[in-house]
């Protein structure tokens, strides 16, 4: 039915996930009973468990494996080792990217911590872009961040710290010890082109047409000789794939536009909201992928 409806309109890919590990199934059932809204009004755990097991039995009676068309089967891949990925009749760029994404994704719980760099001199002056050092407040934040990371990840020896190649993120990460640090050019702030180093008031005065164009559509507006938010989102694809692949915690120290895009991806926010997402200085956003979706905590280390 679906293939007939889609004919001539779009391509359909079926994704089938199969788990044969009884321990994982039992764990998932327990989590479902404890965390799913389906059982929020059921105080009796055993009654909820019995109900869900009956549902599984009914599913099994009518379930038919996917055997035709374009499909991807993920078999016992939840553990991240010894699994299989079966691919049938998959061709084209986007379907290929989907397969690549699925190969690198997993459900192992681990936190991702997002934070902007400490306040920079350009932040103080209200200037766009640049590559300035930290202000006094920014240096203080870098020390507070190091203390926070040391306590939060003290038992996570395989955690990593990711920064951009700009010195304000590298300096923010400097006091953090005991974890490897990786610099990503893809995590650099949005390229503001000819507007780099200017204040928004200067842009409004000198380049009023550019100022108004940006104001009308921040998502698609591209700075002259620079980037748009859509450009930033596109260059973040390898970073996102690598974040999905990681099994240990990752601390990402980056910039406002970049973190807006990353946060929107994990929080499943609409594209149109990306440019206006709140991403304050001196704040850590901890993201945890869970059964009920993405859970987050925010830690404000400075007023």
Digit-coded pLDDT (tens) for 58-88: 999 999 999 988 999 999 887 656 788 899 9
Q: Is 123 a catalytic residue?
A: yes
Query: Residue 80: what pLDDT?
Result: 59
CATH 1.20.120.530 corresponds to the domain 111-300: no
Residue ranges for the chain with pLDDT beneath 50? none
Q: Among residues 116, 127, 214, 235, which one is catalytic?
A: 116
Q: Among residues 54, 97, 150, 189, which one is catalytic?
A: 189
What residues form the annotated binding site for substrate?
116-123, 168
Distances in Å between the Cα of 262 and the Cα atoms of 144, 231, 296 are: 23, 13, 13
Q: Is 227 a catalytic residue?
A: no
CA distance 282 to 134: 12
Query: Residue 79: what pLDDT?
Result: 64
Q: Is 189 a catalytic residue?
A: yes
Query: Residue 282: what pLDDT?
Result: 97
Q: What is the pTM of this model?
A: 0.83
Q: Is 106 a catalytic residue?
A: no
Query: Residue 275: what pLDDT?
Result: 97
Query: Residue 291: what pLDDT?
Result: 55
Residues of CATH 3.40.50.1240 domain(s) within the chain?
Answer: 111-300
Query: Residue 22: what pLDDT?
Result: 87
Query: Residue 187: what pLDDT?
Result: 98
- Decide if 233 contacts 274 (C-beta within 8 A): yes
Query: Residue 104: what pLDDT?
Result: 81
Within the chain, strands assigned E span 14-18, 71-75, 84-88, 111-116, 160-163, 181-183, 250-254, 283-290, 293-300
Query: Residue 303: what pLDDT?
Result: 80
């Amino acid at each position: 039915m679906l293939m007939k409806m889609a004919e001539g309109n779009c391509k359909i890919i079926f994704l089938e996930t199969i788990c044969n590990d009884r321990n994982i199934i039992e764990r998932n059932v327990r989590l479902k009973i404890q965390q799913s809204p389906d059982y929020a009004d059921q105080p009796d755990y055993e009654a909820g468990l019995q109900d869900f097991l009956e549902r599984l039995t009914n599913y099994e009676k009518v379930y038919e494996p996917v055997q035709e068309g374009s499909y991807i089967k993920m078999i016992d891949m939840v553990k991240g080792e010894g699994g299989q990925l079966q691919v049938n009749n998959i061709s084209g760029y986007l379907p290929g990217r989907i397969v690549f994404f699925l190969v690198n994704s997993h459900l192992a719980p681990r936190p991702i911590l997002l934070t902007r760099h400490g306040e920079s001199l350009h932040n103080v002056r209200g200037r766009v872009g640049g590559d300035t050092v930290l202000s006094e407040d920014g240096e203080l934040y870098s020390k507070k961040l190091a203390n926070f990371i040391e306590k939060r990840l003290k038992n996570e020896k395989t955690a990593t710290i990711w920064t951009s190649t700009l010195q304000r993120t590298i300096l923010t990460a400097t006091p953090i010890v005991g974890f490897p640090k990786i610099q990503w050019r893809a995590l650099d702030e949005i390229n503001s082109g000819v507007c780099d180093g200017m204040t928004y008031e200067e842009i409004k005065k000198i380049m009023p047409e550019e100022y108004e164009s940006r104001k009308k559509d921040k998502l698609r507006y591209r700075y002259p000789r620079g980037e748009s938010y859509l450009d930033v989102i596109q260059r973040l694809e390898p970073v996102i794939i690598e974040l999905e692949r990681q099994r240990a915690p990752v601390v990402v120290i980056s910039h406002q536009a970049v973190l807006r895009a990353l946060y929107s991806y994990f929080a499943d926010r609409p594209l149109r909201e990306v440019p206006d997402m709140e991403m304050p200085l001196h704040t850590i956003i901890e993201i945890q992928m869970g059964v009920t979706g993405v859970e987050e905590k925010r830690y404000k280390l400075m007023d």
